[in-house]
Amino acid sequence: MIDAGWLSRLPVVASLPAGQAAAKLREIGEDEIADALTAAPHGSPVTYGQLPRLRGRVRPWLHTAHAIGYLPPVDAPRSELLRITQASNIEADQTLKGARVKLTLDGLRVADYPGHGRHRILFDFAARNQTDQGPEQLHFNVTYLVADGEHAAAHGRPVFTGLRVCGEGLFLQYATVNVLNEDDEKLLRFLDNDAFKNGLQLLTTAQPVLAPFSAVAVGITQAIAARHRNVAVQAVDLGLDFSQIAPRPRLAEGSYIAVQIPESQRARWQWKEWRFDPANGRVINAHQHDLLIPYNYIIMSISRYADEAGPSGVANA
């Protein structure tokens, strides 16, 4: 299993105690929300999402819960809207046990992130790769520049290529950090280099170089998140398995959509109210097609690795 400790050391702003959250929010100009938190010092993180309702504006980043939807692969280009299914309500593909897969980032919607205007968003992706010598822990970073209300140009961005699925399933974690510190923005531009655009390309045998590479990747994420004017926004811990346990999301080829929603909506969230529009790569309302989903979301896709004898090593890293 992936060490969940790194996520606990990267608390998103919605999970911070009220005083710490208020201090962080003042750094990035979110004074109105900070004042509300200070005025209610006994409020818990689960109440944060209620604060902006008093001011007539939904602030998705004040929530910690995520709804996980599943979008099956299509065998040909489609023009019609595609249905999204709850990821725990699909049939697992048992043939993926022991198979090698490719993980790609295929969507990032910034409905609203803390701060104002343009955001440089740092991603940290973590996974466990099953090798002949045992499991190896992986981390990989990418960044995107996105403005509020827009989608990042994230379509088919390789993250892990040749990742081996273990008998229990696939365990993924990913987090986003909103980077507003100008010096840190300059530092992270090295991740835009072509050397990082192919993700991590993996072997069936253990690669000693990956341990220090992954340690540096997660170290960068944690250091950046702790600095002035930077704040962690989303954290997703996703285990995809082959069981028949009702609440668990199952593993199959396709795309997984993680939507940052209020905890109060988790029980009544209905994916039937939303569709994926392949014409523009966006999640829209099933009845009102010009209405975009009002929350932040991330789309990760899983497909079979086409070349079992494929490339080796860390992609130019």
DSSP 249: P
DSSP letter string over 26-58? HHTT-HHHHHHHHH-TT--GGGGGGTGGGGT--
Backbone dihedral angles phi then psi of residue 33, each to the nearest 5 degrees: -70, -40
Q: What is the pTM of this model?
A: 0.88
**Which residues are bridge partners to 67 per DSSP?**
259
Q: Coil, strand or helix: which one is 266?
A: coil
Closest to 101 (Cα-Cα) out of 241, 205, 252, 216: 252
Q: What is the pLDDT along the chain (317 residues), one digit of tens a residue?
A: 456 578 888 889 988 888 888 899 999 999 988 888 887 655 554 455 555 454 556 688 988 899 999 999 998 778 899 999 999 999 999 999 999 999 999 999 999 999 887 899 999 999 988 777 777 889 999 999 999 999 998 889 999 999 999 999 999 999 999 998 888 888 787 777 766 667 887 765 656 667 778 888 888 898 899 989 999 999 999 999 999 999 999 999 999 999 999 887 877 899 999 999 998 899 999 999 999 998 999 999 999 997 654 443 444 33
Closest to 139 (Cα-Cα) out of 293, 38, 2: 2
